Structure 1
Amino acid sequence: MIEAHALTKRYGERAAVTELSFTVRPGAVTGFLGPNGAGKSTTMRMILGLDAPTSGRVSVNGKRYAQHRAPLHEVGAMLEARAIHTGRSAYNHLLALAATTGIPRRRVDEVIDIVGLREVARKRAGGFSLGMGQRLGIASALLGDPATLVLDEPVNGLDPEGILWIRNLLKDLAAEGRTVLLSSHLMSEMALTAEHLIVIGRGRLMADTSVAEFVRAAAGTSVRVRTDEADQLRQALAGPDVTVRSTEREVLDVTGLSSDRIGRIAADRGIALAELTPQQASLEEAFMEMTRDAVEYQSPAREREGQPA
């Protein structure tokens, strides 16, 4: 379990993280999201004892990282997969890590097989592709068979088979009762992997909730309606809290009304419907909506989207 209490980190006058409190519980993959500059990397570094908080505290399995006698057995982390000695083989890199905390040689062989690097284990890690480097970084995180994992962008450079592999691996580890904190900018993959989300913006907590609730609360739902009488239905649905958009002649996208309510209104007016389908917003859409005002570096297109019409 990871517990952060009023975690704050300042660099001079700049606050990277401010009064951040959350708990990452075992048994589920927790996604850690935020725009660039939100403070995710700083927070993960404080979890792992690489940066000291200006105030507040963070613990892993009840202790600060530095208080664990054998940290690799408690916390497995990958913040930078390519932070390795490029002249060493993958096997010797893992063996050197194992030797520092009394991890047996057989565990090195086990994690090499888990991540699928057996055929290249004796090759210099400096010659690895990005995907192979990611697998080696994940092997390093798993080496101590830890109860807690902190992974930053673990699917970078992986092919579709590798992405499916890491997704299933993280779910299996969580199902074993481990704590898994996963940071990624790939919203489609986060939606398939994580059950819970912690979202920060400008160093502050924005959401701490399930993926399903986050999507529902942040972006809401819309209803796709198809009818030959789109103009008449648009007029019938008009209301102060209802938005009706149309991208096709006979199709309406309605927010602010349930599909049941739309169906009743259409029936009362004798309007035949060819389609009435609730549309759930994607995690990416929900994330973009929630963090719209928390983006430090904003593209011109997104700036225009935020301007009033």
Structure 2
Amino acid sequence: MIKANGLTKRYGGRTAKTVVDHLTFTVEPGAVTGFLGPNGAGKSTTMRMILGLDAPTSGHVTVGDRAYAAQPAPLHEVGALLEARAVHPGRTAHHHLMALAHTHGISRSRVEHVLDLTGLTDVAGRRVKGFSLGMGQRLGIAAALLGDPATVILDEPVNGLDPEGVLWIRNLLKSLAEEGRTVFVSSHLMSEMALTAERLVIIGRGRLLAETTVADFVRDSGVTAMKVVSPDARTLSALLAGPDIEITPGASPDELDVRGVDGEYIGRIAAAHAIPVYELTPRTASLEQAFMDLTRDEVEYQAGATHDSLTGAAA
């Protein structure tokens, strides 16, 4: 279990910038926990503090009831991937893992096992400097799993992976959690987190915004809509219009996307005016929609409206 209590990190003197601000959360075993936040939210700094690479200005964080630096055999307790390229480029994948293994008395057979697990057996003898980004990610994951740790911490593990690799890491993370391990994963890919994570820790500008399950977060986001299909969609749209109701055209002229009212209300309005309705389907929010709504004011750099690159007109 990972426990952060009042975790704070500031850089600088009198003009110090607070990167992580009194962050308190718990990551429990047995589930994949997604660590989400916009760029600059403090995710990487938080992970570095968990691993003792950065010292907190105040607060503390433990893994398995003790600080990472106090772990007697850290590779057996915590496996981490923060930077896939943090490998000597002249080493082969096999030699890199063997060097790590020697620090903890880990067997050669375990090295060969994680090479096979990550699909690197055929390139184990190649120098890392020739690895693609995806191969580097796989090697970093192999190193994280080398000590068969109870806790796994991965920062953007699917970067550079092809679709097969993304599916592989998704299934791997789920299987690790099913074994009772603590799995803490950061990612900017909301669609992938929706498929992989069960729980979420969401931060913005270094502060905790949410600590919940994926299902509860999406359900409580309030971003829901009704898909309405009717041959008289225009008339129905006019009848439904109101100050708290948002209506947008759908994929076809007969389709509407209606927010602010439920299906029962739409059905009663349609029936009262003898308007046929072919479909009335609730659309739940996606994780991406819920995340964007929550973090809208926490984004460090806001992009402007899309403009035509030649005319300057809004797209």
The normalised TM-score by structure 2 is 0.92
Which amino acid in the other structure matches residue 11 of structure 1?
Y
1:183-226 per-position Cα deviation (integer Å, ceiling 9, x unaligned): 11111111111111111000001111111222222252101112
User: Alpha-carbon deviation of 1:150?
Assistant: 0.5
Which amino acid in the other structure matches residue 93 of structure 2?
A
Q: Secondary structure at the match of 2:7?
A: strand
1:45-81 per-position Cα deviation (integer Å, ceiling 9, x unaligned): 0000100111111000111001101111110000001
Q: Which range is displaced more, 165-174 or 280-289?
A: 280-289
1:256-306 per-position Cα deviation (integer Å, ceiling 9, x unaligned): 12223322332233211022121122211221111111001121138xxxx
1:157 counterpart residue number: 160
1:277 counterpart residue number: 281
1:20 counterpart residue number: 23
Q: Which range is displaced more, 245-254 or 269-278?
A: 245-254
Q: Is 2:264 aligned against 1:260?
A: yes
Identity among equivalent positions (%) equals 66
Residue from 23, 38, 48 that aligns with 2:41: 38
Which amino acid in the other structure matches residue 235 of structure 2?
Q
Q: Which has a greater percent of helix?
A: 1
- Is the CA contact (8 Å cut-off) linking 1:191 and 1:283 kept in structure 2? yes
Q: Is 2:120 aligned against 1:117?
A: yes
What is the correspondence of 1:194-273 to structure 2 with a 5 Å cutoff? 194-247=197-250, 248-273=252-277
Q: Is 2:193 aligned against 1:193?
A: no
Which amino acid in the other structure matches residue 42 of structure 2?
G
In structure 2, C-alpha distance between the alignment counterparts of 1:183 and 1:8, rounded to whole Å: 19
Q: Secondary structure at the match of 1:301?
A: coil
Residue from 38, 59, 64 that aligns with 2:62: 59
Which amino acid in the other structure matches residue 85 of structure 1?
H
Q: Which runs of 5+ in 2 are unaligned?
A: 307-315
2:310 counterpart residue number: none
1:5 counterpart residue number: 5
- Is the CA contact (8 Å cut-off) linking 1:30 and 1:182 kept in structure 2? yes
- Is the CA contact (8 Å cut-off) linking 1:223 and 1:254 kept in structure 2? yes
Which amino acid in the other structure matches residue 185 of structure 1?
H
Q: Secondary structure at the match of 2:293?
A: helix
Residue from 146, 149, 165 that aligns with 1:146: 149
Structure 1 runs of 4+ with >4 Å offset? none
Which amino acid in the other structure matches residue 295 of structure 1?
V
Which amino acid in the other structure matches residue 172 of structure 2?
L
User: Alpha-carbon deviation of 1:155?
Assistant: 0.8
In structure 2, C-alpha distance between the alignment counterparts of 1:194 and 1:234, rounded to whole Å: 38
In structure 2, C-alpha distance between the alignment counterparts of 1:33 and 1:57, rounded to whole Å: 20
Q: Which runs of 5+ in 1 are unaligned?
A: 303-309
User: Alpha-carbon deviation of 1:233?
Assistant: 1.9
- Is the CA contact (8 Å cut-off) linking 2:19 and 2:41 kept in structure 1? yes
User: Alpha-carbon deviation of 1:131?
Assistant: 1.0
1:15-34 per-position Cα deviation (integer Å, ceiling 9, x unaligned): 00111110001111100010
Which amino acid in the other structure matches residue 293 of structure 2?
E
- Is the CA contact (8 Å cut-off) linking 1:16 and 1:38 kept in structure 2? yes
Which amino acid in the other structure matches residue 297 of structure 2?
D
Which amino acid in the other structure matches residue 158 of structure 2?
V
Aligned residues: 302
User: Alpha-carbon deviation of 1:240?
Assistant: 4.1
- Is the CA contact (8 Å cut-off) linking 2:223 and 2:289 kept in structure 1? no
Q: Is 2:299 aligned against 1:295?
A: yes
In structure 2, C-alpha distance between the alignment counterparts of 1:178 and 1:301, rounded to whole Å: 44
In structure 2, C-alpha distance between the alignment counterparts of 1:233 and 1:25, rounded to whole Å: 48
2:140 counterpart residue number: 137
In structure 2, C-alpha distance between the alignment counterparts of 1:21 and 1:160, rounded to whole Å: 34
The normalised TM-score by structure 1 is 0.94
Q: Secondary structure at the match of 2:141?
A: helix
